[in-house]
Structure 1
Amino acid sequence: MTRSFLALRHIAIASSLLFGLVSQHARAAESGTITIMVGGITKLIYLPARLTEQLGYFKDEGLDVELLSQPAGVDAENELLAGAVQAVVGFYDHTIDLQTKGKEVKAIVVFGQVPGEVEMVSTKAAETVKSMADVKGKTLGVTGLGSSTSFLTQYLAGQHGIQSTEYTMLPVGADASFIAAIKQGRIDVGMTTEPTVSALQKSGDGKVLVDMRSVEGTKAALGGTYPASSLYVQAAWADAHKAEAAKLAHAFVRTMQFIHTHSAEEIAAKMPDDYQKDKPLYVSALKASLPMYTSDGKMPADGPTTVLKVLSAFNPSVKGKHIDLAKTYTNEFVAAK
């Protein structure tokens, strides 16, 4: 009886805390604050989120925006569906996956025309792993199981006829935890982004195996552009808050234009110091990342079909399902002004 009572009490406390979190953000939304959850705010693939805030573009639009961070896009997606946040800066592919689950979510600004992801091989394993054709029997690191990195990893291996049962996928997160996994030998190969890529190259612990930071590299790996980092919202929120959605889109488009008209050094100078503890490394990583960004926030014409092709191959939720790609994104708001 006592154990049952305590168990129920713990459940009640946990539920209360979750309810409190959602309620807190709901109250913030009512007061006019737009809360955006970022799937790893220090990642350069999501640079436009913090840069827009730093440049003052949200305030220029009369918006009160709060940026929060979760280490993985899957967690950010759950916050959106729970109503705890109004928008997510994460991978576009979540909108396709969610449609199969009866959730209508759409990208309203596209930041990355390519994933910005890099498949890294540890220096220790580099002698035996020369390409993704050599990953059989290896341990492959991803940010999380069921994440965008896991589907991309499976697709790249599958291109060489290697099934997902022939290697181990290990969730190791990003940034410091990814670097630790490489250094400790817990993974042989792993998918990550800048500035982690440059940090591993600088320390000599990792080498580039597949580079999807540029359009050319992404087309070679995936067969087309692969829109990734984006701002996505629930379709119902966009329909009910068209003015706010347009202002958000306009603020971000200004940022994309800033990125395309300024050097890596000039962009880095606008970012907080704690994002670039090693400034030369940060600038170098940013230079390598600049080709990934769109200039206008619009969806690349061939992008959605490439993403659907990848997800249909390895995402059990998407495989064999009919997807209405027109409902997964819109250029309406980026073209509003």
Structure 2
Amino acid sequence: MKRRTFVIGAAGLPLAAPFIASGPATAQGPAPEKPNLTLGVGGKPLLYYLPLTIAEQKGYFREEGLNVTINDFAGGSKSLQALVGGSVDVVTGAYEHTIRMQHKGQDIVAVCDLGRYPGIVIAVRKSLAGTIKSIADLKGRRIGVTAPGSSTALLLQYALQKNGLATTDAAQIGIGGGASAVAAIKNGGIDGLSHLDPVISQLQHDGDIAILLDTRTEAGTRALFGGTNPAATVYLQKSFVDANPVTTQRLVNAFLKALKWIAAATPEDVAKLVPEEYLLGNRTLYMQAFQNSRAMYSPDGMVTEDGYVSMMAALRALDPELANAQVPYERTFNPAFVRAAKV
């Protein structure tokens, strides 16, 4: 699995209280049981995962007494594999992964919602817009996704099915995120893509694509799913949560700080904070991409029951293994840490 690694340090923490063996206590209360964490993500520069970058760049992990090493994989399915395999402690990834893994007997639970809408756009090359006018016209086409099995691929499959096609009627080609995804459209290697900002806004600006479906907005999300549809979340093995409640709380605190910052930020604020390579060479365009996508971020970190119902309906329709699945809402999302957060 190709990945990039980012390390966020924790420094200047006060001395340990004598009765705490797990590490130093902080102003926020008891020390985290596991201050050194490895986090998996699939496509960190994507706006889908902006709360992670904000938490990193603003030093919110450090404020919470955590050292976080970030492994950036080719797609969300790869970061999920890393969590199951034990090479990462926590993932920022699609909420639907918690449902799938619970159904398979893997006790994986989300503890904070980052996105209430998927933020995914299905589009085709502009030169094909006269031929491909709807999702139903994607049959036999090569469509780029961040990685097979990731949320971009699953949304594409659901859209195909909703439009009378089989989920396999369009070939799904892994193109990663960022510049590689832009290049895949520009060099004609794919006919269209199911992808996220800033890639979509870059291709829109350059006149390279025509949009068929847009879930960056509530209207687009409801048109496909009939309701809100939780997207990026923070999820972990339940055994980790049970063994490390303070660490889990500190993680949630950091992400809620990031969501709060995003809610008040201007596009200029965001463009100044993210790494230069995220801008894809065009700061103004990145700011527009953020503005296009900002409605998708969770206002409060909660996965709603309405969103859970919407996601379950989509998964039951999409996957025969889940057609009769009974995965309770409370096994997929633990709201206790969001409720207890003071940020």
* Structure 2 residue identity aligned to 1:77: L
Find the aligned partners of 1:199 and 1:152 in 2 and give their Cα distance: 21
Separation (CA, whole Å) in 2 of partners of 1:336 and 1:165 = 43
Whether the 8 Å CA contact 1:140–1:169 is kept in 2: the answer is yes
Is the 1:151–1:315 Cα contact (8 Å) retained in structure 2?
no
Q: Is 1:199 aligned to 2:229, yes or no?
A: no
Shift of 1:144: 2.5
Q: CA deviation at 1:241?
A: 0.7
Distance 2:193 2:227 in 1: 22
The match for 1:299 is 303
- 1:135 matched to 2:138? The reply is yes
Shift of the 284–248 alpha-carbon distance from structure 1 to 2, 3 Å rule, reads: same
Q: Is the 8 A contact 1:151 1:310 kept in 2?
A: no
The answer to whether 1:117 aligns with 2:125 is: no
What is the alpha-carbon distance in structure 1 between the residues aligned to residue 301 and residue 239 of structure 2?
Answer: 21
Contact 1:111 1:297 in 2 (8 A): yes
Instruction: Name the residue aligned to 2:96.
Output: 93
- Root-mean-square deviation (CA, aligned residues, Å) is 1.7
Q: For 1:140-190, what per-residue CA distance to the aligned partner results, in whole angstroms no more than 9, with x for missing partners?
A: 222222222222112112112122343333333332332232223332221
Using the alignment, how far apart are the partners of 2:251 and 2:299 within structure 1?
A: 16
Map of 1:76 onto structure 2 = 79
The Cα of 1:200 is off from its aligned counterpart by: 0.7
User: What residue is the counterpart of 2:317 in the other structure?
Assistant: 313
SS at match of 1:333: helix
Cα distance in 1 between the residues matched to 2:169 and 2:71: 37
**Rounded Cα–Cα distance in structure 2 between residues aligned with 1:314 and 1:150:** 12
Consecutive unaligned residues of structure 2, counting only runs of 5 or more, are: 1-31
Query: For the Cα contact (< 8 Å) 1:106–1:233, is it kept in 2?
Result: yes
Q: Residues of 2 paired with 1:179 and 1:34: CA distance?
A: 32
Residues 158, 167 of structure 2: 8 Å contact kept: no
Match of 2:19 in 1: none
Q: CA deviation at 1:316?
A: 4.1
Q: Which residue of 1 aligns with 2:283?
A: 279
Greater helix percent: which structure?
Answer: 1
* Length, aligned pairs only: 309
Deviation, 1:193, is 0.3
Equivalent residue in structure 2 for 1:43, among 7, 28, 46: 46
- The verdict on how the C-alpha distance between 1:264 and 1:301 changes in structure 2, with shifts beyond 3 A counting, is farther
* TM-score normalised per structure 2: 0.86
1:309 is displaced (CA, Å) by: 1.3
Q: CA deviation at 1:83?
A: 1.4
| Residues 1:333 and 1:157: Cα distance change in structure 2 (over 3 Å) | same
Specify every segment of 5 or more residues in structure 1 that has no aligned partner in the other structure, as ranges. 1-28
Alignment of 1:146-225 (within 5 A): 146-225=149-228
Instruction: Decide which of 324, 327, 330 is 1:326's aligned counterpart.
Output: 330
Change (3 A) 1:204 1:155: same
Query: How far 1:77 moved relative to its partner?
Result: 0.6
Residue 239 (1) aligns with residue 258 (2): no
Cα distance in 1 between the residues matched to 2:231 and 2:134: 23
Whole-angstrom distance in 2 between the partners of 1:271 and 1:173:
19
Alignment match, 2:3 = none
Q: Please, what TM-score do these two structures have when normalized by structure 1? A: 0.87
**Deviation by residue 1:235-271 (Cα, 9 ceiling, x = unmatched):** 1101111111111111111111111112111122222
In the alignment, is the contact (CA less than 8 A) between 2:117 and 2:216 conserved in 1? yes
